[in-house]
Amino acid sequence: MSRKRVAVLISGRGSNMAALIETAKDKNYPAEIALVASNRPDAPGLAAARAAGIATAIVDHASYGKDRPAFERALQTVLEQHRIDLICLAGFMRLLTAGFVTQWQDRLLNIHPALLPAFKGLDTHKRALAAGAKMHGATVHFVVPEMDSGPIIAQGAVAVRDNDDECTLAVRVLAVEHRIYPLALKLVAEGRVRVVDGHCLIDGVPVPASASIVPDEPG
Ligand code: GRF
């Protein structure tokens, strides 16, 4: 079976993008990163993508003002030029319209730095600490029009430590992100994920909680 052609959409540093690029170097991985696109010309991740020999594109949202559909049409043109099958949002800081999301239904993934449905939106680490959460983590899900609400493909959890601050917690969550995104993309690219009634089935069955990544934490 041919490898799925994936576009990674970024706005910033691109460490999840880098994790996907690294994993997809393996020819046996069912997806190849065919394009990295950014809505910000200055996104640091672009240079890393170029250095890895990946095609890059800039679709600068600022050029389109408030006209989101026009921005998305430009994005769609680039995606078509690169014959993209699947999109991974990785720190992509633009809300996408329902029209675009629907067009890419079940082919558009996002990673969110919290255990959804807890802590949708921004500042997740700060809010998890403020809430006194004992477990925190990250989620890969399909994108639906409502923000951070789509069917969950994979999650990874970390225990919150007494002395954690936003930065220390973010570092451990990010390490988990870099594991679950390649895992989730693999499952989707292999065609093993089906959405039924808003939930993901993998190989036809609900994903057991035991499939979540809970890293061993020394001390
Ligand atoms: C990650 O924490 C991701 O979960 C969130 O934005 C951050 C992007 O980081 N959506 P990076 O650009 O992948 O390093």
Which residues belong to the active site?
112
With a 6 A CB cut-off, is 14 part of the ligand 1 pocket? yes
Distance between Cα 90 and ligand 1 center (Å):
6
Q: Is the CB of 128 under 6 A from ligand 1?
A: no
Q: Which of 216, 214, 196, 212 is nearest to 204 (CA)?
A: 196
What is the predicted pLDDT for the residue at 181?
Answer: 97
Is residue 208 over pLDDT 90? no
C-alpha to C-alpha distance for 89 and 8, rounded to whole angstroms = 6
What single-letter DSSP state applies at residue 213? B
**Would you say the CB of residue 38 lies under 6 angstroms from ligand 1?**
no
Tell me what the mean pLDDT of segment 21-36 comes to.
98
CA of 14 to the centre of ligand 1 (A): 7
- Cβ atoms of 131 and 104 closer than 8 Å: no
Is 84 close to ligand 1, i.e. is its CB under 6 Å away?
no
Q: Which atom of ligand 1 is nearest to the CA of 90?
A: 13
pLDDT at position 219, please?
43
Query: Pseudo-torsion of CA 168, 172, 175, 181, nearest 10°?
Result: -120
Tell me what the mean pLDDT of segment 170-196 comes to.
97
Ligand 1 atom nearest 10 alpha carbon: 12
- CATH 3.40.50.720 fits domain 4-213: no
Token pair for 161? 């430590």
Ligand 1 centroid to residue 1 C-alpha, Å: 30
Using one digit for the tens of pLDDT, what is the confidence trace for 148-162?
Answer: 999 999 999 999 999
Q: Where are the domains of the chain?
A: 4-213
Q: Please compute the mean of the pLDDT values over residues 193-203 and round it to a whole number.
A: 95
Confidence class for position 217, pLDDT limits 50, 70, 90: low
Mean of the pLDDT values across residues 119-135? 98
Look at the chain and count its residues: 219
Contacts of 199 (CB under 8 A, 6+ apart): 151, 152, 206
